[in-house]
Structure 1
Amino acid sequence: MRRVHGTPSANGASMIQWFQNSDPIVQALLAGTFTWALTALGAAIVFGLTRVNRMIFDAMLGFAGGVMLAASYWSLLAPSIEVANELGWPSWLPAAVGFLCGGAFLYGLDRTLPHLHRGHPDDAAEGIQTAWQRSVLLILAITLHNIPEGLAVGVAFGSAGSGQAIASLGGATALAIGIGLQNIPEGVAVAIPLRSEGMSRKKAWLIGQASALVEPLAAFVGAAVVVHITPVLPFALSFAAGAMVYVVVEELVPETQQEGNEDLATLFLMIGFVVMMILDVSLG
């Protein structure tokens, strides 16, 4: 008898059900892999283009910043306050402490980890001085701001599996989708300038996607911590928020203000904020 395979829609439904029933740490790892894949997809534009108009570039960075800002509140800070309430703590305490610690963590990494920002000369490398190659320093610069994105995704899925009423799988999924969407322009924003500096298309793409390889690992760590140490959950949520806000203010916003496209970048930041807000409210 000929075997009858399931329909595509049935297979899709079974995959969704499998994901919903998976361990939160597995969900976080898969979500982090998804956000990395969209970075790689964005970076793949170098195989077709050598340059991107600066206005488009700044608009993309503005959009990414807006998504990160909205996610910091709707997906992380607000749940942190609610979880603290449920645990019987002062509702403001974990949000305030975690938020400042997240910013301090990124500040420390920024001052110690050797890295070089796009478009800067080799002697403008930040952090501890090393003889590492330019390509390695460029990867580390982008990795710095992908760490909090991965942590945010992991903490969100970990909190969804913690049993707290405020946390939901839909909200965590919305965050992963939002981070993934803003990773597409981030991939473009990494790979195209490298290609413009004379790198081969393949190397520019490899560096572009490598900058987000830290996201699945950070997501795994974030989920594992909150799943196994539940009291740390509100602090972990706000920690990820503080780290993301630090990246937006310290890196993304200043970079969009250099070529006279401030109004455009601000508009797209607001659009990114609204897109992420809609995703979180509708799915969470």
Structure 2
Amino acid sequence: MVDLSLLQDMHPVLQALFAGVFTWMMTLTGASAVFIIRDVDRLIMDVMLGFAAGVMIAASYWSLLAPSIEMSLQNGQLPWFPALVGFLLGGVFLRGIDKLLPHLQYGRPSNASEGIKTPWKRSTLLVLAVTLHNIPEGLAIGVAFGAVAGGGYPYATLSGAMALTIGIGIQNLPEGTVVSVPLRRDGMSSFKSFLYGQSSAIVEPVASVVGAALVILVRPLLPYALAFAAGAMIFVVVEEMIPESQRGGNAPLATMGSMVGFSLMMVLDVAFG
């Protein structure tokens, strides 16, 4: 058993901050691969993207949507309403950021950048693309820890929030590599590629704190906030991660990567949540 006594004594916002820093450090660890390797085969990249997508899909249901529905039932609300509204708003929110934030997906040519047109370099646009992925992940972590602070919800447990954090941290490992190694291949120095790769996840501690503070201050928003984070994560997975993992001609293995990622997150959440 993992001793959670130290975490239990912390304020939930501080718990969320530490969890966000952990997932950032996992991205940093993945980005450090650039000091060892200069390139990664497209097959491996696709499998890693598929794996990350599977983790996010599983986390969206087991750690976010299911607790949202259970909380609504416990509060005497229509069980599906907060989950539906929050989920759709999460997708709309990410779509808005997607339209505004300049970014470039891995494997795309420089003229295929999305968002507001800017003269920014390809490296900056690649980092911003992964930063976009990390916003909902940070929010999900923060909302999970904030839900624990709400009390009275069997589905909202500290071990469950930790399971979500570990799952997102695991999938952040390949994300760091997916950003840093292509930058190194394009001619950037190893150290600069590493700095760019890890910087994509700096947003996670910030989003974690925002998510936790919001649901603590406005407790009735909790079921909506959980579903909102789920909707934002699913938008990223369906709109970008899965299509990109399938584009390189390795669809069967990328799909198996998604299955493995989903299974891992499901086991973590059911076993510890």
Q: Which runs of 5+ in 1 are unaligned?
A: 1-12
Q: Alignment length, in residue pairs?
A: 272
Larger Rg belongs to: 1
1:9-20 superposed matches below 5 A: 16-20=4-8
For 1:121 and 1:264, how far apart are their aligned partners in 2? 24
2:7 maps to amino acid: F
* SS of residue matched to 1:198: coil
Q: Report the alpha carbon displacement of residue 123 of structure 1 after superposing the two structures with TM.
A: 2.5
- What is the aligned partner in structure 1 of residue 33 from structure 2? 45
In the superposition, the TM-score normalised over structure 2's length comes to: 0.96
Q: Report the alpha carbon displacement of residue 226 of structure 1 after superposing the two structures with TM.
A: 0.6
* SS of residue matched to 2:242: helix
CA deviations 1:21-57 (Å, max 9, x no partner) are: 1111100000000000000000100000011121111
**2:15 equivalent among 21, 27, 39:** 27
* SS of residue matched to 2:150: coil
For 2:237 and 2:97, how far apart are their aligned partners in 1? 15
Are residue 228 (structure 1) and residue 217 (structure 2) matched? yes
- What is the aligned partner in structure 1 of residue 102 from structure 2? 114
1:103 maps to amino acid: G
Q: Which runs of 5+ in 2 are unaligned?
A: none
CA deviations 1:51-83 (Å, max 9, x no partner) are: 112111111111111000000000000000011
For 2:2 and 2:180, how far apart are their aligned partners in 1? 36
- What is the aligned partner in structure 2 of residue 240 from structure 1? 229
- What is the aligned partner in structure 2 of residue 263 from structure 1? 252
CA-atom RMSD in angstroms: 1.5
- What is the aligned partner in structure 2 of residue 78 from structure 1? 66
* SS of residue matched to 1:161: helix
Question: Are residues 57 and 122 of structure 1, via their aligned partners in 2, closer, same or farther at CA, if it must alter by over 3 Å?
Answer: closer
Question: Are residues 85 and 137 of structure 1, via their aligned partners in 2, closer, same or farther at CA, if it must alter by over 3 Å?
Answer: same
Q: Report the alpha carbon displacement of residue 176 of structure 1 after superposing the two structures with TM.
A: 0.0
For 1:185 and 1:117, how far apart are their aligned partners in 2? 15
Q: Calculate percent identity across the aligned residue pairs.
A: 58
For 1:227 and 1:100, how far apart are their aligned partners in 2? 22
Q: Report the alpha carbon displacement of residue 199 of structure 1 after superposing the two structures with TM.
A: 1.1
For 1:264 and 1:113, how far apart are their aligned partners in 2? 31
1:238 maps to amino acid: A
**1:208 equivalent among 197, 204, 208:** 197
1:217 maps to amino acid: V
Are residue 101 (structure 1) and residue 101 (structure 2) matched? no
Q: Report the alpha carbon displacement of residue 210 of structure 1 after superposing the two structures with TM.
A: 0.4
- What is the aligned partner in structure 2 of residue 55 from structure 1? 43
Are residue 192 (structure 1) and residue 192 (structure 2) matched? no
For 1:230 and 1:16, how far apart are their aligned partners in 2? 24
For 1:263 and 1:168, how far apart are their aligned partners in 2? 36
